[in-house]
Structures are given as C-alpha cells and as structure tokens.
Amino acid sequence: MALAPAALLRAIVDTHRQARWSPERQRAWVDARLRAVVRDAADQIAFYRDHFADHGVDAQAFRGLDDLHRLPFLTKAEVQDQYPHRLLADGVELTQCVQSATTGSTGKATRFAFSPETFAFYLATSLRVYTMAGLRPWYRGAYIKYSPIPLPDLGRFSPVLHVPSILPAQEQLRRLMSFRPNVLIGYASIILELARLVTPADCRRLPLKFISVNSELSTPAERAYIAERFGCPVYDEYSTEETWMVASQCRAGSYHLFTDNVWVEVLDEHGQPTAPGEIGEIVLTTLRSPVMPFIRYRIGDFGRRPAVETRCACGRGLPQLESFEGRCDDAYILQDGTRLSPLKLLNTFTLFIKSDPGLIDEFRFVQTALGQARIELVPGPRYDPARGTALVEALTRVIAEPVAIDLVRVGAIDGPARIKRKAIESRVSAPQRAA
C-alpha cells in the first residue's frame, strides 16, 4: 500500500515536537490517549469487548493510567488465535491495512495489521531514533534487514541502501563499501560479524558518523567493540515488529521511552509495578494503532527503570529506561568454530512466513552437531512440501558450508509459557566448539 508523503511529513513533525514536551505534559497526553484507546477498543473490536467483559472491566469507566492495572493482559497466543477478524476494528478490511508478521524469538508466527496513518507514524518514530543519534538530512543511510522497508521515494535526496540480512557477511561488507553510507543501521549480531571482518583500510573508505543496532540484545562491551572497529559511536534501540519503537539511546547514552507511541509497564511476578531500579517484565500498550491496538501486551522481555529519574542532558522530556533484556537465540556454530548470527537464520524463516502467511504456524531450528541441524515445523493451513524444501535450501545457502538439515513436521512445539523459548538453538557442546 502506497504511503502518502504528506502523512509521513506530519508524523515527523509531531514526533520530534512531542519529544521536547515536559515529563508532566507527556504523562497527561498518555493519560488522555489511554482512555480513548481502551474505550474505542471495547466499542469497535470484538476481542476486546469480550476480553474486558470476561474480566469485569467497564471500559467506559476507565480513568487512564491509574486504572491500567485493572485491565487484563494480552498474550501472543491470543493475538495468534484471534487475528484477523476479532482483532481488527469494526468495518476495517485487511486490504485497507499495512499487514505484517513476525516470528519473534519464539518461532511461532504472529500476524498483525495497522492503518497507513499508523505506519507513517511508525516510520517517523524510526527517523527520530536516528535524529536522536545525530542524523542530518544529507547523510547517506544503509540498513540491514530481511526485507526492504517501503519508504517514500525521495529521489537523490538522502539516498538509502537496503542490505539483505541473510547475505554472507563478506557480501554485506562489499555492498556497504560500494555505497559508502554515513549511517549504518541493523541487527546487533550481524553488525558484530561485520566488525570482526572490517579492516582499518575499509574504515577509511566508510565515512560513518554513527551506527544504530536493533532487534536483539547487545551488551555495552559488544557495542564498544563495534565502535572501536568502525571508529564511530554506536547507539542501541529497542523495538518490536508489533509495536515498533519502544526506546532508543540519545547521544548522551540514555534510553528514552517513546511514550508518544507505546506505554511501557515494568511489572514484578505478581503483576505489580517494580520499584525503581528493579528488573521486571515489560508490558506494552500501543497508543497510535486504532485499527489493531495491543493493550497490556506481554512480550516476554524484561527491563529496569532507573533508580533515580533525572532529566536527560539531551533536553528531551521522554522518560527513561535503564536497561532491557531481549532475544537470547543461540548462534549457529560453523565448522571452524566461528559463530553465524542467529538473525540470519531467523530472518530466513521470517521471509517465508511473510511471503506466504499460511505456510508455517511455528518452528524451531536446532543445531544438533557440527554440520547437522533439524527443523521442527508446525505446518500452517496452506503448507506446501515444495516450499518446505525451498526453506531448507535457503537455510543451507545462508549457512554457506556443508550441512545436513532434517525437516520434521510436528503438531506442536513445547516451551516455557512465560519466558521466551529459543527459536534458534545450538546444542553444540563447548568441547565440540573448541575442537
């Protein structure tokens, strides 16, 4: 679906203006928006009408942030079971929406949709991630992702390069060297692979101003290593496919929560807010997606608010998150002992799921030994064995060395209900890796 440039421009102005609001004004806006989101969901969306009624919630009496704890949680399983018809607003057709899907880190497909206006806002929050890190309009940008983002055509102004995430690292680096970007954006583990390959001579030909890593957990030590190798700052952001931007680092290093997009709760095991500085489960409520809102959505990630909340030196009024925990998929171990980013394998599955939504309901990729792997796959309603064979061939190309992959069709994949299980798992032992 074509994206209107005017809608995107309005969203860019709104997101950058609102980031400068005071914390008090931010909270008042969230409070009012939450009331509208909950009441509209109960009025227009079949799932929420029943969901709230089953838990004794009167949406019309909902008062906002003070009542948020009274609302029931939303789980991935409910999204997977109820999409699309019971989770879309009344009168909305999927053909009118931007449709997407994610494997998450669990391997089970989650499908969702949002309006073109919401998508424009999501793109604007993505842009704000990079302006917070110092982006300028004339910078050339390159991003590493499993598929291209449908950006508006700006011609020769601010050119952007998409680098497929499933390509070998050497080919990714070759394309970057040819394009010479000022900004590099991509999965943390894949950029870490590139950092291990890049030479000082390469860096002199790459006029990078900064790097932004996303979509998976990265440690400060990893980001410091990438920064040293490429010779530029590295900033981290936290997002989900379902809700887009949740938090991002500014140039001062603070993680700012994007409360104009999503409200973030950090809860203990009893569902109560954690004390400042204590780790807890992250629960998200979208504020800008009326077609298909996520209300108190449990994503299985964990985070920590600052022990003391202070105004950031960057001047933005957006609240802060001290840290978060994301994906923990294993790397695939190659014959020489090096690690292949799990995102390359995960993105291969995602490409198949997004190109054919009825193909796969759930999967797990398990490396059983060096050069051996198994796919446990729950077929979707339109599963085609030929596509299963094509999936195995695609994974073999990504691994790029001899590997025997068995595809096993199963009825279900067991895993812990609360904590995200791994969709990419390596069972290669430490002695095998050393050998």
Ranges of each domain in the chain: 5-119+240-325, 134-232, 332-434
Per residue in 272-284, pLDDT (tens digit) is 999 998 888 899 9
pLDDT at 153 over 70: no
CATH class assigned to 332-434: alpha beta
CA distance 59 to 37: 10
Contact between residue 230 and residue 142 where contact means Cβ atoms under 8 Å apart: no
Q: What pLDDT, on the 0 to 100 scale, is given for residue 54?
A: 97
Q: What pLDDT, on the 0 to 100 scale, is given for residue 157?
A: 64
pLDDT at 147 over 80: yes
**Contacts from 71-76 at CB under 8 Å and sequence distance 24+?**
71/38, 71/295, 71/296, 72/296, 73/271, 73/283, 73/296, 73/297, 73/298, 74/294, 74/295, 74/296, 74/297, 74/298, 75/297, 75/298, 76/104, 76/106, 76/108, 76/110, 76/298, 76/299, 76/300
Per residue in 372-406, pLDDT (tens digit) is 999 999 898 889 999 999 999 999 999 999 999 99
What tokens appear for 59 in the block?
């949406």
Q: What pLDDT, on the 0 to 100 scale, is given for residue 424?
A: 86
Helix (H) or strand (E) segment spanning residue 358: none
Angle between helices 385-399 and 342-355 (to 10 degrees): 150
Q: What pLDDT, on the 0 to 100 scale, is given for residue 343?
A: 76
Distances (CA, A) of 334 to 151, 170, 341, 371, 428: 36, 15, 11, 7, 10
Written as one letter, the residue type at 133 is: A
**Mean pLDDT of the residues in the chain:** 88
Per residue in 41-88, pLDDT (tens digit) is 999 999 999 999 999 999 999 999 999 999 999 998 899 999 999 999
pLDDT at 6 over 70: yes
CATH number of 5-119+240-325: 3.30.1330.10, 3.40.50.12160, 3.40.50.300, 3.40.50.12780? 3.40.50.12780
Per residue in 11-29, pLDDT (tens digit) is 999 999 999 999 899 999 9
In this prediction, what percent of the chain has a pLDDT beyond 70?
92
Q: What pLDDT, on the 0 to 100 scale, is given for residue 103?
A: 67
In this prediction, what percent of the chain has a pLDDT beyond 90?
60
What tokens appear for 6 in the block?
């005017």
Q: What pLDDT, on the 0 to 100 scale, is given for residue 214?
A: 87
Per residue in 35-44, pLDDT (tens digit) is 999 999 999 9
CA distance 183 to 342: 23
Burial 62-90 (b: 16+ CB within 10 A, else e): bebeebbebbebbebebbeebbbeebbbe
CA distance 131 to 278: 30
Angle between helices 188-197 and 220-230 (to 10 degrees): 40
Written as one letter, the residue type at 433 is: R
Instruction: Write out the E strands in 291-340.
Output: 297-304, 320-321, 323-325, 332-333, 339-340
In the chain, count of helices (H) and strands (E)?
Answer: 12, 20
CA 343 to chain centre: 12
Contact between residue 102 and residue 69 where contact means Cβ atoms under 8 Å apart: no
CA distance 296 to 38: 11
